[in-house]
Chains A and B, each alone.
Chain A
Amino acid sequence: MKNKSNSRQYNTRMVKGKTQVKKVKKLKLVVYFIIFQVLFGIATAPIIVYYSPFFTNLRKNIVGTAMSTDSHEFIATLFLSQKQIDEIIGSGKASVAMTQDLSKVNIAYKDKGIKFSKINGNKFNGYMVIIDDPTRVKVGYSSKLGITGQKTSQIAKENNAVAAINGGGFDDKGNNSTAIYTGDGALPIGLIISKGNLIFPKPNDLNHQQVYKGVAAINGEGDLIVGDFTVDQLLNKGVKEALSFGPTLIENGQETTDFTSQGADPRTAIGQRRDGAIILLTIDGRQGLQAGAELEDVQKVMEQEGAWNAVNLDGGASTTMYYNGKVQNSPSDKSMERPVPTAIYVTN
């Protein structure tokens, strides 16, 4: 009996031992499996995404987003030639020369009509303000331009505005900082015209031949002029308010195609309907699962709202929608509003 019990105990120990060995083996196998999946995934992902005939949207977004940020360009340039990058994001597409036909815009309203609405999509949320009288729309700029920028809400408040969106771009470097990503809107990029006066570049620094791309300008009648112009051309057209960023999204009711994809991001844009009403649009992004909108998405929103002409403005962390005394959207940088050099505002 004793022998039998000993042998049973021995057998049980043997079985337990074997089970434990099996368990360790299984665990090792799982670890190897995970390591293999990670390494194989890293090695093959660029080949599948960049070189397979599928995943066009994904490819365009990854390359577009990477190329629009200095710090992440390597995600595209490490695996693709410049020619391949251009093909994916569509740079180098022939631009269709177009002359803006402002006779098709008949300004119908001259009252104080203004509408605030929310946009909900699967990929993004945004806000839109439609102003019936386009002559109420002005370009505002930081009162300390060259030293520091101001928040869109500050520019709006200083101009007693009812609504405002951020405007043009700027060097992402503070006035007294050597580090990048510290830009406070002090140093604008592009041009600024306000109340018929050239604000930036300073008249003495102006190169009369320089063509500014992606201009959003408003003349004395309230027409939104979009496209690429020199400062002299704009002033000759009777432009009172202007800034530039781009690209132009809609011209003469037709969607433009000659821009490169920049991926999904927060966006700001301005457009005008044929009845003269101005559309101010902001779309939030870089928050949770909502990356934001692509330029094509902004085009679509503008087109659905009946925009005859529309242009994209500075987006990303700068995107701000101010209305009724408050910032209505959620800016993407730590939820805080970013200072900018210029804003487009609506007089009260």
Chain B
Amino acid sequence: MFKDLQIAWRNLWRNRKRTAITISAVVLAVVLSTFMSSMQEGTYARMIDNIVKFYSGYIQIHHPDYWASRSINDTYEPDSLLSRAIGGTPEITLAVPRLESFALISSGENTKGAALIGIDPPMEDSLTGLSKWIDQGSYLRRGDNGLMLAINVAKNLDAHIGDTLILLSQGFHGSSASALVPLRGILKFPSPQLNNYGAYIDLKSAGEFFDATGRITSMALLVKDYHRVSGAASDLRAKMEPRLSVKTWDEMQPDLIKMIEGDRAGAIIMKGILYMVVGFGILGTIIMMMAERKKEMGIMVAIGMQKYRLQRMLSFESLFIGFLGVLIGFALSLPLVSLMVSHPVRLPGEMAKIYESFGIEPVLYFSMIPKIFINQAITIFILTLLIALYPLLSIRKMIVISAMHGK
């Protein structure tokens, strides 16, 4: 058998051009499918990143009853145990505290209900980029006693920058919460729903207002990308549960997952089409190679080589081709993809504007996670092996006499 391996190897190098062409078909398959996978994964990860950064963060830590009740009574004080737990989980890049509840906001004759969110202004900005949506007035500063409103809430209240507004709510343990606040800034979001939703005050002011000083409803965490979330979450859970509850973005927004899965399914079909095209590219070269060597193979069988040995030899050749092709493909796609990651391609004109209006960078995203490269390499290798069945079948059906005549 070892002899056959050697022969197979030498066969490949006997006709360099032919081998090169066949291997390059495999290389191409690997490079293109890796490129496409990388782009799909990158776009996907960026989409999740954008949606998650808009408000919820990747992970949130709550009082165990909070998610069901949303009550101001189910708040907690973040202590050193929590900060150590967060600090000890390296995937977490940012932890942003919030104290949020429902409140009535009143200006002049108008009263409207809204979500009142106590934030740490600079930290919130690092997570959600909130400050870039300021349309009028200014963004809150830490310790500020003022208020920011979403634009339609402000319009409904007929409130203008500098006006004093009244906040009313139910505070911690049922106490009455009331305060007078100046309107510091008005936010305008790209999505109309968000424009009807929120009011923001500084975290310290929120604590005083709700009689819940030092308490928060949630700590929102940012992770590098969505692949690291489950690792970080289970890490935190081990340290924090049952005292506090840890929820991930997909648990908090299950509808989002459904939408993404639907998209992913479409992407699979696209991959299927690509495999079909590149697969045929490889098959084409193999068919041509067989056609070209027909005479040679016919003679080999005629002088006594058993068909099965010929088949085995060809299988080894295919294995080598597959292996080399995948290896070279992998080696080529690595620098290509990392180039796309470090120097992403900007989208053209009109499309760029639409993306930017949503606060999303108008760029093609690529992903470098190892899973992509490995998966594509393996898939193409398997595809090559499947295609390698053709030569085997061809040998089986071969009629020696006709083969020797080159037919």
Partners in one complex: no
Point out residues on A near B: beta carbons under 8 Å.
none
Point out residues on B near A: beta carbons under 8 Å.
none
